[in-house]
């Protein structure tokens, strides 16, 4: 390492903690500043008061292709708190269909997926046969970043239709995959992002395509362990401390002003806050006049609505099921002292406006129409959680709006809103 730096990280969410762990392990001194009373940002858990269950703010999954995430968990010693599938396996169900399982075989890339589609009872012969067009399109895009970038102006639905995927197979597989991977409808999602995720998640090999579900709450999965790691290596935290403004002088950050007026001199500054929070802490002249930051005015977020339901008996005997023809996209079955099911509605802008009782009523009706066990089960308890800014909206055109890690300011870096394909390890960026 060239020189040890004094680094201030704004934000104690996943990005801030992962950056903190990486930087202290490289020998830098790190201070993480977090406005809330707890770490974890948009991925945290808490004690649900009525039943005493540890509950996440919303279901999170990881995939084998999340290389940096998995390396981070390994470093802080919690990778074994994720339950990984041996091979990609996803159950689907709709009204009167029973469960249709997609199961990739343990074969080399891309035969693991081909085997999955070949034996997938959710697809008709015609739907399977149409996949050859998609395979051809994906092959042509392999290693061709420019061609993928050009797809950014199209939606996922437009791209799938252009490659002869029937509406029925879009609804039964690709749309549900899109909701899970990009957190929005295929009409509102960039085809470029979709292709990148497909290439990384499904077509990078059988290990990359496996889905992992945390066995513990998110705070136990990473937030506490990352905090311990950073502190053990000499880093420190300022919790319940809000950054009010970043102060610049010509081409560098001079200091940050905390709420209450205290100022902290800064050598190197890393912002990991959502873009809405970043807009509040940048000075007006920088936010509105510096061309680098202008894309911030065009970005938006996609919400996630989660509904947790506790029954008097187990109702779904699969870890998770993708749902056909319902407003709920995914249902996860959680074991433990008080088993429950967690329902996910991605990009649900309409559902976001609904009241909790209306959401629960809708969810119960949808579950009963698909899972016969729910009809006789007694609902003991329920909770709704709404995250308005769960992820960046993946709308067409979003690729060109995401900001690189390096800003025009010598000692100021951004994390969490960059392009996936431009991501560089921090050791190379700082
Ligand atoms: C319900 C739900 C389900 C999801 N499911 C998945 C999934 O399955 N897989 C997946 O990969 N991703 C998923 N995501 C997305 C994932 O949670 C986020 O991408 C990730 O948590 C973002 O982390 P971050 O550190 O970039 O931002 P954040 O978590 O938002 O962290 C930023 C932190 O900065 C703090 N902060 C903000 N302003 C200030 C300030 N002025 N001063 C000091 N601190 C400040 C905030 O309090 C926050 O703690 C999901 C998100 C939600 C909400």
pLDDT tens track for 93-149: 999 999 999 999 999 999 999 999 999 999 999 999 999 999 999 999 999 999 999
Counting ligand 1 atoms within 8 A of each CB, the residue from 8, 9, 31, 60 with the most, and so the one to mutate, is 60
Which stretches does DSSP call E strand in 42-172?
Answer: 45-47, 54-56, 62-63, 82-84, 89-94, 98-103
The predicted pLDDT at position 48 comes to: 87
Q: Is residue 80 part of a domain?
A: no
In a domain, residue 413? The reply is yes
Q: What stretches in the chain show pLDDT beneath 50?
A: 1
CA distances from 160 to 175, 247, 308 (A): 10, 46, 33
User: Is residue 234 assigned to a domain?
Assistant: yes
Nearest Cα residue to atom 34 of ligand 1: 11
The answer to whether residues 282 and 414 belong to one domain is yes
391 CB within 6 A, ligand 1: yes
Please tell me the predicted confidence (pLDDT) of residue 1.
Answer: 45
Alpha carbons within 13 A on the beta-carbon side of 228: 12
Atom of ligand 1 nearest to the CA of 56: 1
Q: Are residues 285 and 312 in the same domain?
A: no
Give yes or no for a contact between 270 and 17, defined as CB atoms under 8 angstroms apart: no
Residues 117 and 238 in one domain: no
Q: Could you tell me the residue range of the domain that residue 372 belongs to?
A: 301-392
Give the residue among 311, 381, 386 at the shortest CA–CA distance from 350: 386
**Which amino acid residue places its CA nearest to atom 7 of ligand 1?**
60
Q: What is the pLDDT of residue 39?
A: 98
Asked if the structure places residue 71 within a domain, the reply is: no
Closest CA relative to residue 42, chosen from 176, 180, 219? 219
> Does 229 share its domain with 344?
no
Q: What is the pLDDT of residues 33-55, one digit of tens each?
A: 999 999 999 999 999 888 888 99
Say if 27 falls within a structural domain. Answer: yes
Ligand 1 contact, 348 CB (< 6 A): no
290 shares its domain with 248 = yes
Distance separating alpha carbons of residues 50 and 347, to the nearest angstrom: 28
Residues 133 and 203 in one domain: yes
Which of 209, 224, 255 marks a domain boundary?
A: 209
| 291 within domain boundaries | yes
- What is the count of structural domains for the chain? 3
Same domain, 345 and 295: no
**Distance from the alpha carbon of residue 213 to the mean position of ligand 1, in angstroms:** 18
Q: How far is the CA of 416 from the centre of ligand 1 (A)?
A: 9
What was the pLDDT predicted at 417? 86
Closest by CA to 186, choosing from 149, 161, 150, 211, is 161
Q: Mark whether 168 and 228 lie in a shared domain.
A: no
Q: Which of 187, 209, 231 is the last residue of a domain?
A: 209
pLDDT of residue 2: 58
Is the CB of residue 264 below 6 angstroms from any atom belonging to ligand 1? no
Same domain, 294 and 307: no
- Based on the domain organization, do 251 and 363 belong to the same domain? no
DSSP helix/strand/coil, 185? coil
Rounded CA gap, 418 and 403, in Å?
Answer: 5
CATH of residue 342: 3.90.660.10
For ligand 1, atom 5: residue with the closest CA: 60
Does residue 414 line the site of ligand 1, with CB under 6 A? no
> Does residue 306 line the site of ligand 1, with CB under 6 A?
yes
Residue 98's Cβ-count burial label (10 Å; 0-12, 13-18, 19+) is: exposed
- Domain identity same for 39 and 121: no
**pTM, full prediction:** 0.96
Give the nearest ligand 1 atom to 180 CA: 8
The answer to whether residue 243 sits within a structural domain is yes
Of 209, 241, 257, which one is at a domain's C-terminal end? 209
**Residue 310, CB half-sphere, CA atoms under 13 Å: how many?**
14
DSSP annotation of 216 = S
57 within a domain of the structure (yes/no) = no
Provide the CATH number for the domain around residue 291: 3.50.50.60
CATH of the domain at 125: 1.10.405
Q: Is the C-beta atom of 346 inside 6 A of ligand 1?
A: no
* Same domain (yes/no): 341, 282: no
């Amino acid at each position: 390492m060239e020189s040890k730096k004094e680094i201030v990280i704004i934000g104690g969410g996943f990005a801030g903690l992962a950056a903190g762990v990486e930087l202290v392990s490289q020998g830098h001194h790190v201070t993480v500043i977090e406005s809330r009373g707890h770490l974890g940002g948009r991925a945290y858990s808490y004690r649900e008061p009525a039943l005493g269950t540890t509950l996440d703010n919303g279901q999170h999954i990881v995939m084998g292709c999340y290389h940096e995430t998995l390396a981070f968990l390994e470093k802080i010693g919690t990778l074994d708190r994720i339950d990984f599938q041996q091979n990609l396996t996803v159950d689907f169900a709709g009204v009167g269909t029973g469960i249709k399982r997609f199961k990739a075989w343990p074969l080399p890339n891309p035969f693991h997926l081909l085997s999955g589609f070949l034996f997938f009872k959710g697809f008709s012969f015609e739907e399977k046969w149409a996949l050859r067009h998609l395979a051809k399109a994906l092959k042509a895009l392999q290693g061709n970043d420019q061609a993928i970038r050009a797809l950014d102006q199209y939606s996922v639905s437009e791209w799938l239709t252009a490659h002869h995927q029937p509406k029925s197979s879009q609804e039964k597989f690709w749309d549900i995959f899109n909701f899970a991977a990009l957190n929005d409808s295929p009409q509102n999602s960039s085809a470029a992002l979709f292709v990148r995720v497909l290439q990384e998640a499904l077509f990078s090999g059988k290990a990359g395509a496996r889905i992992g579900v945390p066995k513990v709450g998110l705070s136990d999965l990473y937030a506490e362990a990352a905090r311990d790691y950073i502190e053990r290596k000499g880093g420190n935290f300022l919790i319940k401390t809000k950054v009010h403004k970043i102060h610049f002088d010509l081409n560098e950050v001079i200091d940050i002003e905390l709420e209450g007026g205290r100022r902290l001199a800064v050598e190197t500054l890393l912002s990991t806050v959502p873009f809405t929070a970043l807009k509040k802490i940048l000075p007006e002249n920088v936010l509105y006049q510096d061309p680098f930051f202008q894309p911030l005015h065009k970005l938006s977020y996609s919400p996630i609505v989660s509904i947790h339901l506790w029954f008097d008996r187990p109702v779904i005997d699969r870890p998770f099921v993708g749902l056909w023809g319902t407003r709920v996209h995914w249902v996860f079955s959680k074991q433990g002292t008080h088993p429950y099911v967690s329902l996910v509605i991605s990009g649900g802008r309409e559902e976001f406006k609904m009241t909790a009782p209306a959401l629960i009523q809708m969810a119960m009706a949808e579950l009963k129409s698909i899972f016969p066990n729910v009809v006789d089960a007694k609902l003991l308890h329920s909770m709704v959680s709404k995250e308005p800014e769960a992820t960046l909206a993946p709308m067409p055109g979003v690729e060109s709006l995401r900001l690189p890690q390096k800003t025009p300011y010598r000692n100021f870096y951004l994390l969490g809103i960059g392009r996936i394909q431009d991501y560089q390890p921090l050791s190379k960026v700082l």
